[in-house]
Amino acid sequence: NAGVTQTPKFQVLKTGQSMTLQCAQDMNHEYMSWYRQDPGMGLRLIHYSVGAGITDQGEVPNGYNVSRSTTEDFPLRLLSAAPSQTSVYFCASSYRRGNQPQHFGDGTRLSIL
Amino acid sequence: LAKITQPISMDSYEGQEVNITCSHNNIATNDYITWYQQFPSQGPRFIIQGYKTKVTNEVASLFIPADRKSSTLSLPRVSLSDTAVYYCLVGERGGATNKLIFGTGTLLAVQP
């Protein structure tokens, strides 16, 4: 019963590098989402997906791409990392869109130099 | 998007009841209100969810007035382990899709 699993837990990048933050859930949840958490800014929605093949933008989507090829996985891609993307990233899931996120991963702490 | 506001911090003592409010003037008519607890270096943990009036579970109650422009999380008898940051989450009206927006968070400090 793993719930929502995020990898890696920590990552340091240089400006301009690309990387993918992985998120997987084993609960057959339709709704998955990505948030970033910054001091003084709380949690902000980046992208979300209501099912395989369907994604949409959240509050702060610029600089990030997502795809949802399977129900289980929802990776977040940074194509060209910028220092402003230094943050803690959380992936979340719930059974359906009407149920707001029920399970969160433990986060990926990303630093961009 | 309007900001969803909560008190920055609250202090309490063990055994007391704590009420944390969240103001959300632009809440979507068809969306729920959800509350989470977050400890340092962990993801938020679901506490309770409701749409209107009152909802109660084994750890908390949620009070929502008829206009749904605010909500109150009630923790009946807090303990030291309830020291954490508490967030509300609502869907805000806007465009074709409601946006899920977290409140600013309330740091609850419980003392012996």
Render the burial of A24-34: b for 16+ CB within 10 Å, e for the rest.
bbeeebbbbbb
Contact across the interface for A107 and B1, Cβ inside 8 Å:
no
Per-residue pLDDT tens digits for B24-67: 888 887 788 999 999 998 999 999 999 989 999 999 999 999 99
Cis peptide before A101, with omega less than 30 degrees from 0?
A: no
The more confidently predicted of residues A76 and B29 is A76
pLDDT of residue A58: 87
pLDDT of residue A98: 61
In 3D space, the residue among A28, A31, A10, A27 whose CA is nearest the CA of residue A19 turns out to be A10
| DSSP assignment letter at A67 | -
- For residue B98, pLDDT over 70 is answered with no
Token pair recorded at residue B59: 């750890």
Mean pLDDT of chain A, nearest integer = 92
How far does the CA of residue B56 sit from the closest CA of chain A (Å)?
A: 17
> Would you tell me which residues 8-67 of chain A have a C-beta closer than 8 angstroms to some C-beta of chain B?
33, 35, 42-45, 48, 56, 58-59
Q: What is the pLDDT averaged over residues B56-83?
A: 96
Q: How far apart are CA B25 and CA B17, in angstroms?
A: 26
pLDDT of residue A78: 96
- For residue A52, pLDDT over 90 is answered with yes
How far does the CA of residue A43 sit from the closest CA of chain B (Å)?
A: 6
The more confidently predicted of residues B1 and A17 is A17
Alpha-carbon distances, residue A44 vs B10, B19, B78, B107 (angstroms): 23, 24, 28, 18
